[in-house]
């Protein structure tokens, strides 16, 4: 069987047996297409370690139209997809290169951007007015910080999924895993005010608002992640937050940082963020490192 057919069957396996999201399928398909386009082999048994080594060199030297190289993390995404494909072929009994012989490259340390408390307060208070758009934006910012949700999770949320009385909701995250997140009192209050002013019947929690405020002819009002990103940037500028690229993910980082600074253990933060591995959550050790410094200063080498 040729590699292109095996790739299609592999993606179908991810969709059916692994229940992976459409976005994951799209990304893995694109990564594997790039590899197959480079390798130029039809049969799995024709693959060898040298060809894969050459592919990794190709990824490392690849540049876009602006002359920018692929980030190490993006290169590793390509390799993760390839290794997963090779593991699938091994399970199918297809003779090819062992996935264990394909190692991930060392990535650069990740630096997270988060907001200090005074910056956060200014951002959350930036939307002004009593119109539906201002109520929506205040509710959105409060919800992002209160729950640590990803922007894609926020945009896919339906209003009937929120229990404002209990202050909690279930989120369908990466890997189609469901986790419980919680709303602060401020978030509950702002969401309730926003929903009380909604006159449309759209199921989406956060919607775009037509300029004429007439919802009758609108079929799909759900906000896109790009719209939310633009909105967050706009309010960051209005709040006078300088020198930081503020995005919805910045609020997710701020949420995790806030939890750890106030004494939450890293395993609990992992669960609330929906990370499959605590290794991912450990990018926030800049917070615990600071706390350890204070402990050392307070208790070490006292005369």
Which active-site residues does the annotation give?
Answer: 150, 174, 249, 252, 275, 284
CA pair distance 245, 236, nearest whole angstrom: 9
CB atoms within 10 A of CB 42: 12
What order of strands is seen across the sheet that includes strand 178-182? 162-163, 168-172, 178-182
Token duo for residue 195: 């929903």
CB 89 within 8 A of CB 1: no
Listed in sequence order, the residues at least 6 apart from 292 whose beta carbon sits closer than 8 Å to its beta carbon are none
Type and span of the H or E element at 163: strand 162-163
Residue 2 neighbours by CB under 8 Å, 6+ apart: 42, 43
Say how far apart CA 143 and CA 149 lie, in whole Å. Answer: 8
Distance, in Å, from the CA atom of 205 to the CA atom of 158, rounded to the nearest integer, reads 5
Q: Which of 255, 247, 289 is nearest to 273 (CA)?
A: 255
Tell which residue, 150, 151, 191, 141, has the closest CA to residue 168: 191
């Amino acid at each position: 069987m040729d590699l292109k057919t095996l790739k299609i069957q592999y993606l179908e396996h991810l969709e059916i047996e692994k229940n992976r999201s459409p976005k994951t399928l799209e990304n893995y398909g694109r990564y594997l297409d790039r590899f197959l386009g480079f390798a130029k082999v039809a049969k799995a048994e024709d693959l060898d370690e040298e060809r894969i080594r050459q592919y990794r060199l190709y990824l490392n030297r690849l540049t876009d139209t602006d002359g920018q190289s692929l980030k190490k993390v993006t290169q590793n995404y390509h390799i993760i997809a390839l290794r997963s494909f090779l593991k699938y072929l091994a399970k199918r009994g297809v003779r090819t290169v062992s996935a264990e012989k394909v190692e991930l490259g060392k990535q650069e340390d990740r630096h997270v951007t988060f907001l200090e408390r005074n910056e956060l307060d200014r951002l959350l208070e930036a939307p002004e007015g009593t119109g539906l758009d201002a109520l929506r934006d205040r509710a959105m910012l409060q919800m992002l910080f209160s729950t640590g949700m990803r922007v894609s999770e926020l945009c896919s949320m339906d209003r009937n999924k929120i229990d404002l009385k209990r202050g909690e909701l279930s989120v369908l995250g990466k890997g189609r895993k469901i986790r419980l997140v919680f709303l602060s009192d401020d978030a509950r209050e702002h969401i309730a005010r926003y929903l009380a002013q909604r006159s449309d019947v759209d199921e989406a929690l956060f919607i775009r608002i037509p300029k004429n405020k007439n919802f009758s002819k609108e079929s799909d009002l759900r906000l896109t992640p790009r719209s939310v990103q633009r909105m967050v940037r706009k309010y960051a500028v209005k709040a006078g937050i300088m020198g930081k690229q503020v995005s919805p993910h910045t609020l997710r980082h701020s949420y995790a940082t806030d939890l750890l600074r106030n004494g939450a253990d890293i395993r609990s933060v992992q669960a609330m963020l929906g990370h499959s591995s605590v290794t991912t959550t450990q990018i926030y050790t800049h917070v615990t490192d600071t706390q350890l410094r204070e402990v050392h200063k307070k208790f070490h080498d006292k005369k």
